[in-house]
Amino acid sequence: MIQSFAHLSPLPFETCWTSPANIAFVKYWGKKGHQLPANPSVSLTLKECVTTSKVTFLAGEKLSVELNLEGTRKDSFGIKIENYLRSLETMIPWVKNLKVKIDTSNTFPHGAGIASSASGLSAFALALTDYLYFMKPDSDPALFHRQASFLARLASGSACRSVYGGFVTWGMSHLEGSSDEYACPLEVHPELSHLLDSVVVVSDQEKKVSSREGHARLNEHFFAEARYAQAKNHFRKAIDALKAGDMEVVGSILEAEALSLHAMMMTSPDSFTLLKPNSLLLMDMVRTFREETKLPLYFTLDAGPNLHLIYPYSHRNKIETFINNELTPLSQRIITDSRGEGPQKC
Ligand code: DP6
């Protein structure tokens, strides 16, 4: 996708992008080839949980990256970006002569159960795409976000979905224009266009097993093929329900996907769990609340112990009263977010 940018030589350029986190409704868990998903996924892009990155590109003797997070140099993140850029060398060889400086900050705390890799790496991929377009101004503006999503995917799979606002799909599916290489925005029923996400932080400790490692453990997993078949089935049903505005079906898939993701971790050959006792307690409380009140409150989890509670804006008063009164004692903090419009150049 980025072959047309292969024969350039670095010029000085500075840009700044704000890009959001996203929460997957149907999960990407398991890879094939190079950063390609084993099944299609669909997520909701958030609004408040964003990363802002100012990126400076200069010509240099050799590839180097300096990264400052909230004003403090963070070499471990800098090395990740450097390795990522090195992985692009076969497509855009001139990256080996880049001197990159990144000043980045997040609106949400580290370990809050919101993946800073999706927002951070999509912000960087957007800055890099901006740089490619600056150096090759005749590039098609209509393909800007697709290029950015392609580049974000190579850094972190879930980051490719953060390039668009609202609901976003990624991976080959029955949907026209779908691809394993980049994400696509999805139109949904107006009733589901304004959902809220309250993140109940159970633990902000560093995870024992990273997502990258978690994906790898699917390679030898006895249930891998069955999981991919389930995810494909959930994907079709979720898309139909999102388009039809059927929150009950969307919610049941949301919860099934979270539980399946964590079941895969617990049943992998090298078994692990990221759930905490309070994660289970909270799931139970959400289900009991839903049964008793008939209000559309559903949970999901990413690869961590924290719950994302999803509900329509129209029911926020009663649901947020329940969350604040009943769930606060079981959590370290609660962050409330909602559907966002996608990244912005700052
Ligand atoms: C559970 O995108 O973090 O959040 O491609 O190795 O960087 P890499 O993995 P990553 O995996 C995200 C997994 C998930 C589900 C999802 O967001 O779809």
Do residues 43 and 22 touch, judged by C-beta distance below 8 A?
yes
**pLDDT at res. 113:** 65
Write out the chain's pLDDT in tens, 346 residues.
788 999 998 999 999 999 999 999 999 999 999 999 999 999 999 999 999 999 999 999 899 999 999 999 999 999 999 999 999 999 999 999 999 999 999 998 776 667 789 999 999 999 999 999 999 999 999 999 999 999 999 999 999 999 999 999 999 999 999 999 999 999 999 999 899 999 999 998 878 888 889 999 998 999 999 999 999 999 999 999 999 999 999 999 999 999 999 999 999 989 999 999 999 999 999 999 999 999 999 999 999 999 999 999 999 999 999 999 999 999 999 999 999 999 999 9
Q: Which atom of ligand 1 is least distant from the CA of 215?
A: 6
Do residues 213 and 265 touch, judged by C-beta distance below 8 A?
no
Identify whether 343 is part of a domain: no
Residues 92 and 147 both lie in one domain: yes
Residues 163 and 105 both lie in one domain: yes
Identify whether 56 is part of a domain: yes
CATH number at residue 302: 3.30.70.890
28, 154, 259: residue to mutate for ligand 1 pocket, most atoms within 8 A of CB: 28
**pLDDT at res. 112:** 63
Instruction: Domain count for the chain, please give it.
Output: 2
Q: Which atom of ligand 1 is least distant from the CA of 28?
A: 18
Ligand 1, atom 8, lies closest to the CA of 156
**pLDDT at res. 37:** 98
**pLDDT at res. 160:** 98
Identify whether 230 is part of a domain: yes
Q: Which of 155, 187, 219 is the last residue of a domain?
A: 187
Ligand 1, atom 4, lies closest to the CA of 302
Residues 94 and 231 both lie in one domain: no
Residues 117 and 250 both lie in one domain: no
Q: Which of 187, 209, 229 is the last residue of a domain?
A: 187
Residues 246 and 162 both lie in one domain: no
Q: In the structure, which protein residues have their CB atom closer than 6 angstroms to any atom of ligand 1?
A: 24, 27-29, 41, 115, 117, 156-158, 211-212, 215, 261, 302-303
Residues 110 and 216 both lie in one domain: no
Do residues 290 and 283 touch, judged by C-beta distance below 8 A?
no
Identify whether 225 is part of a domain: yes
Residues 141 and 268 both lie in one domain: no
Expressed in angstroms and rounded, the spacing between residue 83 Cα and the centre of ligand 1 is 18
Q: Which atom of ligand 1 is least distant from the CA of 303?
A: 1
Q: How far apart are CA 58 and CA 197, in angstroms?
A: 39
Q: Which of 187, 213, 232 is the last residue of a domain?
A: 187
Residues 121 and 234 both lie in one domain: no
Identify whether 136 is part of a domain: yes
Do residues 32 and 181 touch, judged by C-beta distance below 8 A?
no
Q: How many CA atoms lie within 13 A of 138 on its CB side?
A: 2
CATH number at residue 57: 3.30.230.10
25, 44, 80, 215: residue to mutate for ligand 1 pocket, most atoms within 8 A of CB: 215
Task: Locate 54 and state its tokens.
Answer: 């100012």
The pTM for the full model equals 0.96
Residues 227 and 174 both lie in one domain: no
Identify whether 344 is part of a domain: no
Identify whether 345 is part of a domain: no
Residues 238 and 272 both lie in one domain: yes
Residues 8 and 43 both lie in one domain: yes
Expressed in angstroms and rounded, the spacing between residue 211 Cα and the centre of ligand 1 is 6
Identify whether 346 is part of a domain: no
**pLDDT at res. 111:** 65
Do residues 199 and 308 touch, judged by C-beta distance below 8 A?
yes
Residues 222 and 130 both lie in one domain: no
Expressed in angstroms and rounded, the spacing between residue 10 Cα and the centre of ligand 1 is 31
Q: Which atom of ligand 1 is least distant from the CA of 302?
A: 1
**pLDDT at res. 302:** 93
Domain holding 333, by residue range, is 193-338
